[in-house]
Chain A
Amino acid sequence: MMKNEYKVQLNNISKKYQDGDQENLVLNDISLKVKPGEFVAIVGPSGCGKSTFLSIAGALLSPSDGSVIIGDTKLEKKESRKLTKIRREKIGFIFQNHYLLPYLTSQEQLQLVIDLNKKNGKPDMNALEMLEDLGLSASAKKYPDKMSGGEKQRVAIARAFMNDPDVILADEPTASLDGVRGRQVVEMIKKEVIKHNKAAIMVTHDERVLDLVDVIYRLDKGELKRQDNY
C-alpha cells in the first residue's frame, strides 16, 4: 500500500499501436499527477490521443509502457476482472453523450452504482441528496427520454460520484450541449469535485470552459504539455 498525496498518477505512459509495418506512437512518455480537489483539463485537437489517454487513466486500456496509480492501487496489465473492479470502486466516469441507461429513472441510475458497490465497505452515497444538489429533484423519477440534454448530463455527473471514487474522468462533457448549458455542466462538475474532494480529469476541446479548471494540459502529437498562462 502506498499512501500518497495524489489520487491519480500516470507515470511515463506510452501507447503504441501496430499499424501495418509501422508502429504508431499515440502517447509518448506522458506523466500526470492530480491531487484531491484538483480539476485538470486536457485539451487538444481531435485525433491527438485524448481518448486513448482517458481510456488508460480509466482502466479501460493498458498502456504499452509506464504505470497508472489510482488511489492506492497500481494498475498493471491485470486481468480484466480486476480492472472491472477498479472501475467499479475507484473511478467515476462522465461520458460524452451522457450514456444513461434508457430503462432506469435518474434515481435508479444512481442507485445502480450504489448497489454495485454495496460490498466494498465504503459508506453508501445518497442518490436523492446528490440529485437535489444538482437541482434535479424534480427529475428523480424521470426516464432519460423525458429529460433535456443538460439534465441528462447532470444525472451522468451525479452517477459518477455515486461510488465515492478516487478520480472523476470526464470525456468531452460539453460536446452535446450548447455554450450556456455546457458551461453550467462544467461548473457543476467543479462544484462537486471541490465538495467531495475528488481528483478530476476532463478531456475537452471546448476552450470556453477552461477558465473553470485549475490546471490545463495540452496534448499534441502524443506529448502532454502544461499550459500555465491561459
Chain B
Amino acid sequence: MKLAWKELKHSKAKYLLIESIIILMIFMVIFLSGLANGLARAVSASIENADANYYVISNDAQNLIGTSSLSKDVLKQVASMTTDNVTNLDIQRTSLTSDGNVAKLDVTYFAIDPNGFLSPHITKGKTITNTDSAYNIVLNDSFKDENIDVGDVVEDSPSGIKMTVVGFTKDEMYAHSPVGFISTGTYSVINKKLNPAFSEKYKAIAIAGSDVENIRITGVSVVDKATIVKNLPGYQAEQLTINMILWVLVVISAAILGVFFYVITIQKLKQFGILKAIGMGMRELTNMIIGQVIILALFGVIIGNIIAFGMASMLPSSMPFHLEIPIVIVISIVFILITLFTSLLSIRKVAKVDPIIIIGGNE
C-alpha cells in the first residue's frame, strides 16, 4: 500500500489526468441519476410524498389514477371498511394566471380535504382552509420563480375564480406539472362555474395504512402506491430509458478506467519485473495494483459526488433534478466494484511478467 501510494505521488501528472477522467465520469453518472430521479419526481412527486399507502380508484381506470372517477358516497363506504384514515383526492390539470399577468401558468390541482392527511407540508406561509367565500391555494415553490409570493392572488384561468396564495410547499409535481393544493370545496366551486351540472366526485380515496383487506365495493379496486406511480403517464418509459443509459455509462466508465490502468501497467512491466527479481511475490504486487485502483476510484467517487451535489444545489428549482442518496451510494459502490474487476486484467498481465527480462542487455 505504501508503495502504491508512493508511485501515485511520484507520477502526479499522469495519475491526476486519470483521476480527472474518473471524476468527470462519476460526476456524469451521478448527475444523470439526479436527472433520472428528477424526471421521476416531476411525474410522481406528489403521489410519492403523500402519506397514503393505498388508493381506491374505479375499476375502469386500470390503475391510472388520472382517469378514475368515484361517486361521493364511496368515501363513506371505504371509511367504514377500514380502520385506517381515509381522505378524498381530486386531480385536475389546468392553468393559472397571476394577478395583472396574462401568461397562463401550467398547474395541477390536488383538491383535498384540508383536515385530511393529504394536506401538504408547508415551507412558507400557512396551509389552505375550508372557507366558502375566500378561496385559497398552496402552490409548489417553483411558482416563486414566476414572482408569485404569499398573499398574491391567482386566478383559475378557465373559471376566473380568484384564489389567494396562502403558502408554499416544495417538491410537489404531478405529470411534469407543478401542483397547487386547493380544498375540495374550492374545487367544486371552480367546476360549478364552468359546468352548472357538476356534482362533486373524487378521483381517488387515499388510505393511510394497510388495512385494505375488507374493502370490497363493486366497480372499485384498491391499488398500492407503487402501482399508481408506475402507471402514471410516461413514468415507466422515461425511467427505463434513463436508467438504461445510466447503468450502461456506469459500466463503460468503470471499464475505461480499467483500460487506462491496463495501458499504464503495460508501460511499467519492467518495473514489475524488477520487483519480482528482488523477490516480491504476486500477492504483494496484487495488493499494490488493487491499492492503486482503490485509491484512484475512491478519490474519483468522492470528488465526483461532491461536484455533483454542489452542482445540484445551484440548479434552478424548475429543473427536474433530484439526487437520491441510496441510489448515489449504490452507483458509487458498483462503480468501484467494476473498476476492481477490470483491474484483474492488469493483475493477470503482471502475473505473466518473467523477471528474467531484467537480466542481460535488453534495454
Contacts and interface: CB of A to CB of B under 8 A. Distances in A.
Contacts of B356: 55, 60-61
Give the interface centre of B10, B270, B354, B363 by most chain A CB atoms within 10 Å.
B10
B274 A99 contact: yes
A116 B359 contact: no
Contact of A51 (B275, B276, B279, B360): B360
A56 B282 CA distance: 21
Contacts of B275: 101
B7 interface: yes
Contacts of B278: 87-88, 93, 112-113, 116, 159, 163
Interface string B251-271: 000000000000000000011
Interface stretch (A1-9, A102-110, A180-188, A191-199): A102-110
B355 interface: yes
B281 interface: yes
B359 A51 contact: yes
A159 B280 CA distance: 14
Interface residues of B, number: 26
Interface string A150-190: 00000000010001000000011001000000000000000
B11 interface: yes
Give the interface centre of B11, B277, B359 by most chain A CB atoms within 10 Å.
B359
Interface in A70-109: 81, 84-89, 91, 93, 95-97, 99, 101-104, 108
Contacts of A112: 3, 278
Given A143-B10, A171-B359, A81 B3 contact: no
B72 interface: no
Nearest to A159: B278
Task: Give the dominant DSSP class at A's interface.
Answer: mixed
Given A87-B278, A89-B279, A95 B358 contact: yes
A116 B288 CA distance: 13
A11 to B, nearest CB: 21
A46 interface: yes
B7 A103 contact: yes
Contacts of B9: 103
Give the interface centre of A54, A81, A88 by most chain B CB atoms within 10 Å.
A88
A99 B52 CA distance: 70
Interface string A19-63: 000000000000000000000000000100011001100101100
B361 interface: yes
Contacts of A96: 359-361
A90 B10 CA distance: 30
B361 A46 contact: yes
Contacts of A163: 278-279
Given A60-B355, A112-B3, A81 B281 contact: yes
Interface string B325-363: 000000000000000000000000000001110111101
7 contacts: A84-B279, A85-B279, A93-B278, A99-B270, A103-B9, A116-B280, A163-B278
Interface of A: 46, 50-51, 54-55, 58, 60-61, 81, 84-89, 91, 93, 95-97, 99, 101-104, 108, 112-113, 116, 143, 159, 163, 171-172, 175
Given A55-B356, A84-B279, A88-B280, 14 more contacts: A51-B359, A51-B360, A54-B359, A55-B359, A58-B277, A60-B277, A85-B281, A88-B279, A101-B275, A112-B278, A116-B279, A143-B10, A171-B359, A171-B360
Which 7 pairs of residues, A with B, have the shortest CB-CB distance? A88-B279, A103-B10, A51-B360, A87-B279, A103-B7, A60-B356, A99-B274
Interface of B: 3, 6-7, 9-11, 270-271, 274-282, 284, 354-356, 358-361, 363
